[in-house]
Copies of this chain bind each other. A is one copy, B any other.
């Protein structure tokens, strides 16, 4: 899926952030958004619901954060770097929590194994973007 990259490149507004890193984070969030909604639903249908309760809660929250993050990253006009920063940090935290919990059930529930992978990938993509953002700010300071 490179549509998100094409969309970013078609924007009339320039960005300091590398477009590949932003597109990668958007795509990773969209994947997690879906995997978390689906994993929470599957968890509720498993025989061991009690053992899965925490997984449901984390997946439901992660799906919501992974809905806001790609929206925030897709917008450049009137974007506020502080908002982007805090949204990315919330996304890294919630994806990491969710991945850790899903990993605990990965051996016996395939939906958890798949969702854990998607959440890990999303946390990494958002962390990479936070680093790119910090680097862009350093470059600005060095140029000033």
Contacts and interface: CB of A to CB of B under 8 A. Distances in A.
A3 B35 contact: yes
Contacts of A74: 34, 37-38, 41
B42 A12 contact: yes
A70 to B, nearest CB: 6
Interface residues of A, number: 64
Contacts of A1: 1, 31
A110 B9 CA distance: 9
B94 A90 contact: no
A129 interface: no
Contacts of A34: 3-4, 7, 26, 30, 70, 74
Nearest to A60: B60
Given A31-B1, A34-B7, A34-B30, A82 B77 contact: no
A75 B97 CA distance: 15
19 contacts: A4-B35, A6-B114, A7-B38, A7-B39, A7-B111, A8-B38, A10-B109, A10-B111, A10-B114, A11-B38, A13-B45, A33-B70, A44-B53, A44-B77, A45-B76, A45-B77, A61-B72, A64-B72, A65-B83
